[in-house]
């Protein structure tokens, strides 16, 4: 299959170049680790607060960090593509008979693999800090985060191809990232929020992913919260991939 072999070539190439630029990978993983070390202990103190979800504070906090790593890391992968655009690499690849979808999929696959490695490191560290959670739920949570991360990565590449400049890309991603982050309950659960805020946060898909992850960390695999999270995740993937593929197939200007 042409698509698979092209995806493989692009994946290998992107991964090789990412590993050569290992600084980025280190920065990518050190941020959630810092949150874990410097913000996690604060949470321990408010566990007893009215409205705080059940479970040990790490069971509430680690899922949030996973989503932050997955989604907000993926939102910024497009910046790398702008470098490739400027270097003329994308142009050169688009003149080959390679599948347009593979040009996208190979890069997204690289991002998912990087995300899986980072998630594993984060989870190991969280266990060291005191996280206890059922392993099955944690694995499902990682799968969900990886899938949603892929959707955001595809979207980020599409935005990069459309804006073509770091400035344009930054204004789009920042204006998306801040409300998504604030309304997601990543750092503090939305169950602490006043009614009006909780209502608004319900339109944020990321919030449902975070909720689903927290349920999974509590072992509530067959719960409605997880069901909603999976549906929202599937919707995000469909939207992200459609947007990404359409943009890669579109002519370049």
Partner 1 sequence: MIEASGLSKTYRTRAGVVEAVRGVDIEVHAGEIVAFLGPNGAGKTTTQRMLTTLLTPTAGTATVAGHDLRKDPLQVRRRIGYVPQGGSTAPEATVGEELIDHGRLYGLSKAQSEGRGRRLVSQLDLEGTWGRQTRTLSGGQRRRLDIALGLINEPPLLFMDEPSAGLDPQSRANLWRHIRALREDRAVTVFLTTHYLEEADALCDRIVVIDRGVIVARGTPEELKRAVSGDAVSLRLRDLDDVEAASPVLEAMPHTSLTRSDGDVLDFSLPDASLALPELFAALEQAGVGLAGIEVHRPTLDDVFLSLTGRALRDAPVSTAA
Q: Which residues lie near partner 1 (CB under 8 A)?
A: 2, 5-6, 9, 12-13, 16-17, 20-21, 84, 87-89, 91-98, 251-253
Q: Closest separation between CB of residue 87 and partner 1, Å?
A: 6
Q: Closest separation between CB of residue 96 and partner 1, Å?
A: 4
Between 71 and 109, CB nearer to partner 1: 109
* Contacts of residue 44, Cβ cutoff 8 Å, sequence gap at least 6: 57
Q: Closest separation between CB of residue 134 and partner 1, Å?
A: 42
CA 133, 139, 140, 146 torsion: positive or negative? positive
Between 102 and 216, CB nearer to partner 1: 102
Between 146 and 160, CB nearer to partner 1: 160
Q: Closest separation between CB of residue 145 and partner 1, Å?
A: 28
CA 141, 142, 147, 151 torsion: positive or negative? positive
Q: Closest separation between CB of residue 86 and partner 1, Å?
A: 8
* Contacts of residue 84, Cβ cutoff 8 Å, sequence gap at least 6: 90
Between 19 and 34, CB nearer to partner 1: 19
Q: Closest separation between CB of residue 105 and partner 1, Å?
A: 13
Q: Closest separation between CB of residue 174 and partner 1, Å?
A: 23
Between 1 and 222, CB nearer to partner 1: 1
Between 72 and 157, CB nearer to partner 1: 157
Between 9 and 182, CB nearer to partner 1: 9
Residue 68 contacts residue 149 (beta carbons within 8 Å): no
């Amino acid at each position: 299959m042409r698509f698979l072999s092209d995806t493989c070539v692009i994946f290998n190439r992107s991964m090789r170049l990412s590993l050569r630029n290992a600084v980025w990978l280190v920065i990518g993983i050190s941020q959630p680790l810092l949150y874990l070390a410097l913000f996690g202990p604060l949470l321990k103190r408010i566990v007893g607060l009215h409205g705080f979800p059940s479970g040990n504070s790490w069971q509430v906090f680690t899922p949030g960090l996973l989503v932050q790593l997955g989604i907000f890391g993926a939102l910024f992968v497009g910046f790398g593509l702008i470098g490739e655009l400027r270097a003329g690499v994308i142009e050169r690849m688009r003149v080959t008979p390679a599948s347009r979808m593979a040009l996208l999929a190979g890069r997204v696959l690289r991002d998912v693999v990087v995300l899986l490695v980072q998630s594993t490191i984060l989870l190991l560290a969280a266990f060291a800090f005191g996280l206890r959670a059922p392993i099955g739920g944690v694995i499902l949570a990682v799968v969900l985060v990886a899938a949603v991360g892929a959707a955001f990565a595809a979207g980020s590449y599409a935005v990069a191809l459309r804006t073509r400049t770091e400035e344009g890309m930054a204004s789009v991603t920042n204006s998306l990232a801040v409300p998504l982050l604030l309304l997601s309950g990543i750092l503090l659960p939305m169950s602490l929020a006043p009614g009006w805020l909780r209502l608004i946060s319900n339109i944020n898909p990321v919030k449902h992913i975070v909720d689903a992850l927290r349920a999974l960390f509590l072992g509530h695999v067959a719960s409605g919260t997880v069901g909603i999270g999976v549906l929202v995740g599937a919707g995000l993937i469909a939207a992200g991939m459609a947007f990404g593929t359409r943009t890669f197939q579109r002519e370049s200007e």
